[in-house]
Structure 1
Amino acid sequence: MKSYRRFAGVVSVALVGALALTGCSDSDADDKNESGQAATATPAADLRAGLTDLLVQHVYLAGIALKTAVDEGGNLEAPTVKAAVTTLDKNSVALSKAVGSAYPEAEKPFLESWRQHIGFFVNYTLGKATGDQAMVAKATKDLNKYRTSFGQLINSVVPELPADAVADELKPHVNTVYAAIDSLVAGDGKVFAKLAVAASHMPHTAEILAGGIAENKGLEGAADSDAAELRAGMTYLLDEHVYLAGIALAQAVSKGGDLEEPSVQAAVAALDDNSVALSKAVGSAYPEARKPFLESWRQHIGFFVNYTLGKATGDEAMVAKATKDLNKYRTSFGQIINSVVPELPADAVADELKPHVKSVFVTIDSLVAGDGKVFARLYAAAHHMSMTAATLAGGIAQNKSLQ
Structure 2
Amino acid sequence: MKLRKSYLAIPLSITLLASAGGAVSAHNLEPAQPSVETPASDLRSALGHLLSEHAYLAAEAMRKGAEGAKDFDAAANALNDNTTDLTAAIESVYGKEAAEQFNQMWTNHIGFFVDYVKASGSNNQAAKEEALNKLDNYRSDFSKFLEIATGERLESSSLADGLQMHVNQLVGAFDSYVQGDYEKAYQYERESIHHMYLVAKGLSSAISDQFPEKFHETMAVTPAADLRAHLDHLLTEHAGLAVTAMQNGIDGSEDFEASANALAANTKDLAAAISSVYGDEAGQQFEGMWSEHIGFFVEYVKASGANDEAKKEEALKNLDGYRAEFSKFLETATDGRLKSDALADGLQMHVNQLVGSFDSFAAGDYEKAYDQAREAYAHMLNPAKGLSGSIVDQFPEKFANKMPAEMPTTGMGGTAEKDMSAEMLLAGLFAAAGVTSIAIRRRMNQN
TM bracket, shorter-chain basis: 0.7 to 0.9
Q: Is the 8 A contact 1:289 1:336 kept in 2?
A: no
Matched, 1:388 2:388: no
Whole-Å separation in 1 of the counterparts to 2:250 and 2:210:
48
Report the counterpart of residue 259 of structure 2 in structure 1.
Answer: 267
Unaligned runs of 5+ in 2: 1-30, 401-447
Which among 140, 148, 157 is matched to residue 132 of structure 2? 140
Of 90-99 and 313-322, deviating more is 313-322
Partner of 1:171: 164
In structure 1, the residue matched to 2:33 is: 35
User: Which residue of 212, 222, 225 maps to 1:225?
Assistant: 222
How does 1:337-348 map onto structure 2 within 5 Å? 337-342=330-335, 343-348=337-342
Q: Equivalent residue for 1:44? A: 40
Structure 2 counterpart of 1:253, one-letter code: I
1:114 corresponds in structure 2 to 106
Relative to the length of structure 1, the TM-score reads 0.86
Match for residue 155 of structure 2? Answer: 162
User: In structure 1, how many angstroms separate the alpha carbons of the residues matched to 2:146 and 2:75?
Assistant: 27
Partner-residue secondary structure (3-state), 1:41: coil
Q: 2:58: which partner in 1? A: 62
Which stretch of structure 1 is more off in the superposition, 268-277 or 170-179?
Answer: 170-179
Counterpart contact for 1:177–1:195, Cα < 8 Å = yes
> In the alignment, is the contact (CA less than 8 A) between 2:58 and 2:170 conserved in 1?
no
Output the CA distance in 2 between the equivalents of 1:157 and 1:263.
Answer: 41
1:132 Cα deviation after fit: 1.1
The whole-number CA distance in structure 1 between the counterparts of 2:292 and 2:236 is 18
Aligned equivalents of 1:234 and 1:81: distance in 2? 30
Which residue of 56, 61, 71 maps to 1:80? 71
Percent of aligned positions with the same letter in both sequences? 34
Q: Which residue in 1 is equivalent to 2:374?
A: 379
Where 2:255 maps in the other structure, the secondary structure is helix
Instruction: Give the 5 Å matches for 1:268-307.
Output: 268-287=260-279, 288-307=281-300
Q: Give the counterpart letter for 1:199 in structure 2.
A: I
Corresponding residue number in structure 2 for 1:335 = 328
Shift of 1:346: 2.2
Q: Normalization by structure 2: what TM-score?
A: 0.77
Q: Deviations over 1:205-228 (max 9, x none)?
A: 110111101101112321110111
Structure 1 Cα separation of the partners of residues 84 and 108 of structure 2: 13
Q: Aligned Cα RMSD in Å? A: 1.7
* Residue in structure 2 matching 1:364, options 358, 367, 385: 358
Asked if the contact 2:65/2:117 (under 8 Å) is kept, the reply is no
Match of 1:253 among 250, 253, 264: 250
Alignment partners' CA distance in 2, 1:270 and 1:138: 32
Distance 2:254 2:171 in 1: 22
| Corresponding residue number in structure 2 for 1:103 | 94
Q: CA deviation at 1:193?
A: 2.3
Cα distance in structure 2, aligned partners of 1:399 and 1:171:
40
Answering whether residue 195 of structure 2 is matched by residue 195 of structure 1, we say no
**Structure 1 CA distance, aligned partners of 2:208 and 2:32?**
23
Q: 1:308 aligns with which of 284, 288, 301?
A: 301
Partner residue of 2:83 out of 80, 83, 92: 92
Structure 1: runs of 5+ lacking an equivalent: 1-32, 73-77, 256-260
Q: Distance in 1 between matches of 2:170 and 2:133?
A: 15
Shift of 1:116: 0.7
Q: Secondary structure at the match of 1:170?
A: helix
Count of aligned pairs:
359
Q: Which moved more, 1:292-301 or 1:130-139?
A: 130-139
- Structure of higher RCO (CA pairs closer than 8 Å, 6+ residues apart): 1
- Contact preservation (8 Å) 1:338, 1:344: yes
**Where does residue 142 of structure 2 map in the other structure?**
150
